[in-house]
Amino acid sequence: KKELYIGGFFPLSGVPVASSGRDILPACKMALEMLNNRSDILPDYRLNLLARDTKCDVGHGIKVLYEYLSRSTPVITLLGPACSAVTKVVAEVAWHWSLLQVSYASTASDLSNKEKYPLLYRTVQPDSAFNSARVSVLEFYGWRRVGTLRQDDFVFSSVMSELHQSLEDHNISVVSPETFSKEPRRHLEAIKDQDARIIIGMFYEDAARRVFCEAYKLGMYGSQYVWILLDWADNHQWWLTPDDDVDCTADQMASAVTGYFSIDSVNLERTDKPGISGLTSKEFLKEFSRYHPNGTANLYVPYAFDSMWMIALALNNTAGQLHRQNKSLDQFCYGDHEMARLLQRSTESLVFRGVTGMIEFSKKGERKQPVWINQLQEWRPVHVGLYDPANNKIMQNTTLPIWQGDGPPSDGLVHYLSRVEHVTMSLLWVTIVLGMIGILLASGFLCFNVRYRNHSYIKLSSPNLNNVIIVGAILIYMSIILVAMDGRTVSPASLTHICTATSYLLGIGYSLAVGAMFSKTWRVHQIFNKVKPKKKVFQDSELIGLVVLMIAVDLVVFSLWAGVDPLTYRLQQSGEAIREGDVMVTPFYESCHSKHSTTWLYIIMGYKGLILLVGCFISWETRKVKVRALNDSRFVGMSVYNIVLAVVIGGPLTLLIGGDRDSFVALYSFFVFFPTSISLCLLFVPKV
């Protein structure tokens, strides 16, 4: 078999990612053995992998490249490097020598620039491919304001710029875009000053430790903050790595990083379908564990395995085309642009299933595959969602995010909420029960008064006026029930009618009850201050006429109010806005209001108060009258005093409480129910 050589770039020493590189190389060798044992792929050739250490350093990467270019037997393709900075400089040079390059771990977004890197392909997704997932996470939780913090490095500059543009396209504000070189504290303070609670970070592992140490000191962690990071260091507890530049304790660092999110490629096929290698993803892991027992199948190991298969399949397709031209792959030499173009077209036309899923390339030479949404739970990354680029949606995993507060935090923007304060249910039911008790009490007295109206004792107390007092009391009790109604118990459209009805019921009920009592008191006053008692007789019709006059005045006033300045339903602010967490809650209460409602109330209270004062004066003048024929005159006077006391105390209190709906209903019910009930009992219990 003819020998073909692949030039490999691996980070094997000198950097934290070297441990990953030492796992990636065995995966490539395992793929190489499987390929060389296949009779249907490159049957006339034998693949060889040259492995060189780049130390994730640009200088070492260029040195390795020129070592390959200096070989007497050329390498036909390049595999790697892993680190984006090294891949960038290698790719800028390699295409001039017609070398196709496949990277298994370089994610920098600007490497997708086909004009600059025409022969570079990647089995791993670029960082920019994760931007759509980041935006979807923000939209999924309703976050519209974010802060961004990136390290000053070309690897992050382009992907962050693309993210900012994507956020702008989705109407998400970047309130504090920060870039730091060495010390991140000043930039974290800027983010905190803008009250950004959702922070998207892009930085290397060592810088991440400095960032989160300062974040701990500034209190930028916990239930009110969410960090969304790269997944580069998720394979180990990077925050616990000893670092002379960090003066935070392990516990402090653990507190700061708890619950952070990261965006991670779906690096293993999620189905049980075998790929081109004949292995399912589970079988691959088992085989790799057997092949490399002391290693770990880190994030990029499956990508490196598929990269080898991708190179072999592209070479296999190209070999067939060359065979028809009586050429072969082993004739490749540096600068062979024709063979490089054939190899490029073969690569771009590839469609196959690897252990990382389906592999095919867009016009930019990029893969599209689902993305994991991870959260650090119990000190390890846990899949909490899956972003599918095909439909631009996030599907939640069976494991849900763990929030340190009651749920996802606010994005820092104070949300304004209007809260309508309704009557509490307990007070509502108490008010309804009181109203019903009052109606039943009054109805009982009415039945008693009608049944025994011809009894001498009842007859002497003017039963017709008694009936008027009772009917007035029933109307007043009905107003107690209506005053507790609000938008929770009836429709807002009905509240205007309920307010108007309440005014009519209270006003007319008052006129009936107080008017009848006033008539009784006035009769006593007239008898004992004008002529001898036996010479003066008042008919009920005369006395009721006074009540009718008061009702007529009420109807005129209330009708003018309803016609000229009608009551309308509206919400009124009952107090200052109160901050509850990240929400400013403005309390409102429901009311019925008209432009000159205060004037109308003064008019009504004026003439009704005048009648009450006159009645009080007359009651005082006749307080010593004790005549059997006027058997309830003393109790009528007491009832008038009772009502005066309720009006004098209850009226100002209900006006002073402002928009406290519960207090208003409670006071109204108390100062209406009890004086009315006491007055009824004073007038009718002695008769019973």
Mean pLDDT by 10 residues, the chain (688 residues): 95 80 94 95 96 94 96 95 93 95 89 91 86 92 93 87 93 94 94 92 92 95 92 81 91 94 84 91 93 85 95 96 92 94 93 91 76 90 87 81 88 71 85 91 87 72 79 88 82 79 84 76 61 52 74 85 80 72 74 77 77 69 55 59 69 68 82 82 74
Domain check: are 260 and 200 in the same one?
yes
384: domain CATH number? 3.40.50.2300
Question: Looking at the structure, do residues 559 and 462 belong to the same domain, yes or no?
Answer: yes
Cβ pair 678, 636 in contact under 8 A: no
Same domain, yes or no: 137 and 116: no
What does the pLDDT read at residue 631? 47
The token pair that represents 88 in the structure block: 């960038």
CATH number for 607? 1.20.1070.10
Residues 39 and 68 in one domain: yes
298 and 386 part of one domain: no
- pLDDT value at position 329? 95
DSSP designation for 126: P
Residue 522 DSSP class: H
Give yes or no: residues 295 and 247 share one domain: no
Judge if 664 and 605 occupy the same domain: yes
CA distance 362 to 121: 10
Same domain for 319 and 360?
A: yes
Using CB atoms within 10 A of its CB, is residue 531 exposed (0-12), middle (13-18) or buried (19+)?
exposed
Identify whether residues 504 and 355 lie together within a single domain: no
- Whole-number pLDDT of residue 453: 75
Residues in the chain: 688
pLDDT score of 437: 92
pLDDT at 484: 83
Per the structure block, which two tokens stand in for 583?
């929400």
Spatial neighbors of 244 by CB under 8 A, at least 6 apart, are: none
Interatomic CA distance for residues 305 and 30, integer angstroms: 8
Shared-domain flag, residues 132 and 181: yes
Residues pairing with 173 in the sheet: 145
End position of a domain, from candidates 332, 366, 400: 366
Side-chain half-sphere of 407: how many Cα atoms within 13 Å? 6
The residue range of the domain holding 51 is 2-126+276-366
The last residue of a domain, from among 366, 386, 402: 366
| In contact, 150 and 156? CB cutoff 8 Å | yes
Q: Model pTM greater than 0.85?
A: no
457 & 408 share domain: no
E strand residue ranges, 142-253:
145-151, 173-180, 198-202, 226-230
Please name the amino acid found at residue 231: D
Preceding peptide of 408 cis, ω within 30°? no
As for how many domains the chain has, the answer is 3
What is the DSSP code string of 265-288? Answer: E--S-SSS---TTS--HHHHHHHH
Claim to verify: residue 149 and residue 210 sit in the same structural domain: yes
- Determine the distance from the C-alpha atom of residue 251 to the mean position of all C-alpha atoms in its chain, rounded to a whole number: 30
